[in-house]
Amino acid sequence: MTLFVGLFLLGTGCTLFVAKETLYLESAQDRATQEEVRQHLGAPKFTATASDGRPIWVYQVYYEDPGPANKWGAAGTWCDEYVLTFDKQGILRIWTHKSEGHGGELMPTYCVTDGFKPGS
């Protein structure tokens, strides 16, 4: 019984640190339309079309990391990039997530290394 309770608490604790965008996309894959995604996540930062005509939407979510609570650390910015691919009927089929910290940099010029590049 103790093992079960421990595993339950561990699983519950991990969900507290999952981004709301990730939680939504996990539930939306293979069922949500482009309009439903837009209602939940807002307008994408970039849009593109795959070579086979499938729509691609990119979301970038920046948030400031205040840094450690001492004078030796530096604040910085984290960025989460979500790349969503819809089928030709507009249903979300595939999505990816990358996250990168920009330690000490409050206005990074890119979200994630090797992230989505418009026009590529």
Q: What is the pLDDT of residues 27-37, one digit of tens each?
A: 999 999 999 99
- How many other C-beta atoms can be found within 10 angstroms of the C-beta atom of residue 25? 21
Rounded to two decimals, what is the model's pTM? Answer: 0.79
Q: What is the pLDDT of residues 41-71, one digit of tens each?
A: 999 999 999 999 999 999 999 988 766 655 5
Annotation: CATH topology of 19-103: Beta-lactamase Inhibitory Protein; Chain:B, domain 1 (3.30.1450)
Number of Cα atoms under 13 Å in the Cβ half of residue 12: 6
Q: Tokens standing for 11?
A: 């699983």
Model confidence at 7, pLDDT cuts 50, 70, 90, reads very low
Q: Tokens standing for 26?
A: 């996990």
Three-state SS at 29 = coil
Torsion of CA 54, 110, 106, 38, to 10 degrees: -10
Q: What is the pLDDT of residues 64-113, one digit of tens each?
A: 876 665 555 556 788 999 999 999 999 999 999 999 988 777 788 899 99
